[in-house]
């Protein structure tokens, strides 16, 4: 495991030298090979609702965006999508939605999680369930854990509290998000976080601090992707951009993350695949070992546009592309983050 100083990271990120790019990718690929092998694991992404109480300035699902049709799949539909995924070889799904923290909603999700665990458990170890539902209370995270979810994704979006406040309304706070990440860790989840790369106002220094933040927080999973403007949100009008090559910078961020945190799980994000035809391939080469194919029904997909021109690849195409890039699409395995088990062992020793 390698540590870099902030200045070193900034120099790498700013560099236009192809030799630096090559050096980082080569190192990341070697670290990935040594720690995570060539396997690429699948998380079937079910975006079951776009209803959201939050008002993030960058996101197409924000409460005040009146241009999208709000939907919520019913319990049977979510369960049947999950079971179909399981039949096709997925060992994990991710349930994602806008943020709705009413107890009625969380009861429903908990019941759906428990049912999917029970139905899929009849055939082997059952589906691994990741949740990405935003900021909830400690008790609600606990309730969903008790129901059988075991991983949770909650991006910090930026580790700079001042910048965080610039892209969120006053009622949303950086400290609240930190509390949520801490709660998830305490309860026992594999915890994933991440940031958007290249949004207005963000600097290379901010990105360097992001990488150090992930290390410091000892995270198990990482999801980083380029920021892609959405036409109907406030941040679309903001033009203060410091980062020149968002795609190249994103790839270098992934590579640096893999070098700094060799045993975590890291996703080749949909956003990365949406802004560049080689997004998947380059993401994998930079050390990503997770993909999240979208399983949301066709009829709802255009209403889950976090940003413009979100890409969707069919399961088979993804598998072929992964093979073509030199990696192994790996079905029938959970592919959990070894980092999680390591920190659990260390925790147990310390107690
Ligand atoms: N409600 C859940 C899911 C949010 S959407 C939650 O709060 O965690 C998942 C992620 O999409 C966000 O965390 C954000 O990082 C990303 N996202 C939203 N808008 C985006 C944009 N315009 N460009 C790139 N990524 C975006």
- C-beta of 233 in contact with ligand 1 (< 6 A): no
Per-residue model confidence as pLDDT tens digits over 277-292: 999 999 999 999 999 9
Q: Look at residue 15 and tell me whether its pLDDT is greater than 70.
A: yes
Q: Look at residue 325 and tell me whether its pLDDT is greater than 90.
A: yes
Per-residue model confidence as pLDDT tens digits over 104-117: 999 999 999 999 99
Mean pLDDT of 64-85: 97
Q: Look at residue 140 and tell me whether its pLDDT is greater than 80.
A: yes
User: Which of 350, 312, 288, 319 is CA-nearest to residue 25?
Assistant: 288
Give Cβ neighbours of residue 78 (< 8 Å, ≥ 6 apart).
Answer: 46, 48, 95, 112, 116
- C-beta of 168 in contact with ligand 1 (< 6 A): no
CATH 3.20.20.70 fits 6-350, yes or no: yes
Going from the Cα of 105 to the center of ligand 1, the distance in angstroms, rounded, reads 20
User: Which of 236, 221, 234 is CA-nearest to residue 184?
Assistant: 221
User: Which of 175, 157, 174, 260 is CA-nearest to residue 216?
Assistant: 260
User: Model pTM?
Assistant: 0.97
Going from the Cα of 62 to the center of ligand 1, the distance in angstroms, rounded, reads 10
pLDDT, residue 172, reads 98
* Segments making up each domain of the chain, as ranges: 6-350
Instruction: Give the percent of the chain with pLDDT over 90.
Output: 91
Mean pLDDT of 83-97: 96
Q: Look at residue 241 and tell me whether its pLDDT is greater than 90.
A: no
Phi (first) and psi of residue 77, to 5 degrees: -65, -40
Using pLDDT thresholds of 50, 70 and 90, give the confidence band for residue 219.
very high
Using pLDDT thresholds of 50, 70 and 90, give the confidence band for residue 1.
low
Going from the Cα of 349 to the center of ligand 1, the distance in angstroms, rounded, reads 36
Going from the Cα of 148 to the center of ligand 1, the distance in angstroms, rounded, reads 24
Rounded to an integer, what distance in angstroms lies between the CA atom of residue 305 and that of residue 308? 6
Give Cβ neighbours of residue 173 (< 8 Å, ≥ 6 apart).
Answer: 164, 165
Give Cβ neighbours of residue 102 (< 8 Å, ≥ 6 apart).
Answer: none
68-77, 89-98, 100-109, 304-313 — which is least confidently predicted?
304-313
Q: Give the side-chain half-sphere CA count within 13 A for 250.
A: 34
User: Which of 53, 156, 59 is CA-nearest to residue 101?
Assistant: 53
Q: Look at residue 155 and tell me whether its pLDDT is greater than 70.
A: yes
Per-residue model confidence as pLDDT tens digits over 157-211: 999 999 999 999 999 999 999 999 999 999 999 999 999 999 999 999 999 999 9
Mean pLDDT of 299-307: 94
Going from the Cα of 103 to the center of ligand 1, the distance in angstroms, rounded, reads 23
- Tell which one of 306, 308, 311 to mutate to probe ligand 1, the residue whose CB is within 8 A of the most ligand atoms: 306
Of all atoms in ligand 1, which is nearest to the CA of residue 306?
19
Give Cβ neighbours of residue 241 (< 8 Å, ≥ 6 apart).
Answer: 198, 200
Block residue for tokens 């309304």: 169
Considering only residues 147 and 3, tell me which one the structure prediction assigns the higher pLDDT. 147
């Amino acid at each position: 495991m390698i540590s870099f100083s902030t200045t070193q990271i900034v120099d790498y990120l700013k560099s236009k030298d192809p030799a630096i790019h090559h050096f980082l990718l080569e190192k990341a690929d070697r670290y990935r090979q040594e720690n995570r092998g060539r396997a690429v694991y699948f998380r079937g992404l079910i975006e079951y609702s776009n209803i959201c109480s939050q008002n993030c300035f960058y996101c197409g699902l924000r409460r005040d965006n009146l241009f999208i049709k709000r939907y919520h799949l019913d319990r049977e539909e979510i369960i049947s999508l999950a079971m179909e995924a399981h039949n096709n070889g997925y060992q994990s799904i991710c349930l994602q939605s806008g943020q709705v923290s009413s107890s009625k909603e969380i009861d429903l999700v908990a019941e759906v999680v428990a049912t999917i665990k029970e139905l899929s458990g009849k055939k082997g170890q059952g589906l691994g369930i990741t949740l990405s539902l935003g900021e909830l209370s400690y008790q609600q995270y606990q309730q969903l854990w008790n129901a059988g979810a075991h991983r949770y994704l909650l991006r910090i979006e930026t580790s700079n509290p001042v910048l965080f406040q610039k892209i969120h309304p006053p009622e949303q706070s950086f400290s609240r998000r930190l509390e949520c990440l801490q709660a998830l860790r305490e309860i026992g989840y594999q915890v994933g976080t991440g940031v958007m790369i290249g949004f207005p106002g963000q600097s290379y220094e901010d990105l360097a601090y992001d990488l150090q933040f992930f290390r410091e927080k000892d995270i198990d999973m990482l999801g980083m992707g380029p920021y892609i403007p959405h036409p109907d949100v406030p941040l679309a009008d903001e033009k203060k951009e410091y980062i020149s090559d968002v795609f190249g910078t994103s790839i270098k961020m992934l590579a640096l993350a893999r070098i700094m945190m060799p045993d975590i799980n890291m996703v080749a994000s949909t956003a990365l695949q949406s802004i560049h035809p080689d997004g998947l391939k380059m993401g994998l080469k930079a050390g990503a070992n997770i993909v999240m194919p979208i399983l949301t029904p066709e009829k709802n997909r255009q209403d889950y546009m976090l940003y413009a021109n979100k890409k969707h690849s069919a399961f088979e195409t993804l598998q072929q592309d992964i093979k073509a890039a030199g990696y192994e699409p790996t079905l029938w395995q959970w592919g959990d983050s070894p980092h999680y088990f390591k920190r659990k062992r260390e925790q147990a020793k310390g107690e």
